[in-house]
């Protein structure tokens, strides 16, 4: 239990440090835009674009569809199983910049989906892998800066996203 307490203390310290610089309105506007890129709309556009460019047998499309079919249910079970409240619900006097879509914060669904898409697309298009991983990292960071997730929420989201991408690749690749 001492280890969990230490992790929690580091989590709160990092959260508080990151949120101490959120007074800059331009930075918060940028974080809102970055976070919105992980809302799901771009994923639907990506799936539609890939399906129009290639056949339905396209391995990228298949990997993304399998990835989301695995990642979303696992994310939902974890989020509703752990039931970790968001920072605004547990920290006295703290208010997030945006209104979260649900009550619980662990793991971060935005971060999970972003890392899954980044790893899968980066596998098939390695030249854009650094950009995609940077984008996924910024989504996780933006969720902390906007005050809707603790750092460990986004860390677990990253782990979930990468894991489901690897599972998806394992399923579709011979």
Exactly one of 149, 156, 160, 165 is catalytic; name it: 149
Q: What angle do CA 26, 142, 2 make, to 5 degrees?
A: 135
Cβ partners under 8 Å of residue 72, min gap 6 = none
Give dist(CA 153, CA 14) in Å, integer: 12
Give dist(CA 120, CA 33) in Å, integer: 23
The answer to whether residues 106 and 78 touch, using CB atoms and an 8 Å cutoff, is yes
Residue 149 known to be catalytic: yes
58: left (phi over 0), alpha (psi -120 to 50) or beta: beta
Give dist(CA 147, CA 170) in Å, integer: 35
Residue 41 known to be catalytic: no
Exactly one of 107, 110, 136, 150 is catalytic; name it: 110
Active site residues: 110, 149
């Amino acid at each position: 239990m001492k280890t969990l307490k230490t992790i929690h203390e580091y989590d709160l310290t990092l959260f508080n440090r990151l949120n101490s610089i959120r007074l800059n309105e331009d930075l918060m506007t940028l974080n809102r835009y970055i976070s919105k890129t992980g809302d799901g709309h771009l994923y639907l556009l990506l799936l539609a674009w890939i399906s129009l460019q290639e056949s339905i047998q396209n391995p990228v499309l298949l990997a993304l569809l399998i990835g989301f079919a695995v990642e979303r249910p696992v994310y939902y079970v974890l989020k509703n199983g752990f039931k970790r409240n968001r920072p605004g619900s547990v920290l006295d006097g703290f208010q997030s910049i945006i209104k979260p879509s649900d009550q619980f914060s662990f793991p971060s669904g935005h971060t999970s989906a972003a890392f899954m898409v980044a790893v899968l697309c980066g596998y098939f298009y390695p030249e854009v892998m650094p950009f995609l991983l940077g984008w996924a990292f910024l989504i996780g960071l933006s969720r902390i800066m906007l005050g809707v997730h603790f750092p460990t929420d986004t860390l677990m989201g990253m782990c979930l996203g990468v894991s489901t991408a690897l599972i998806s690749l394992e399923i579709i690749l011979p």
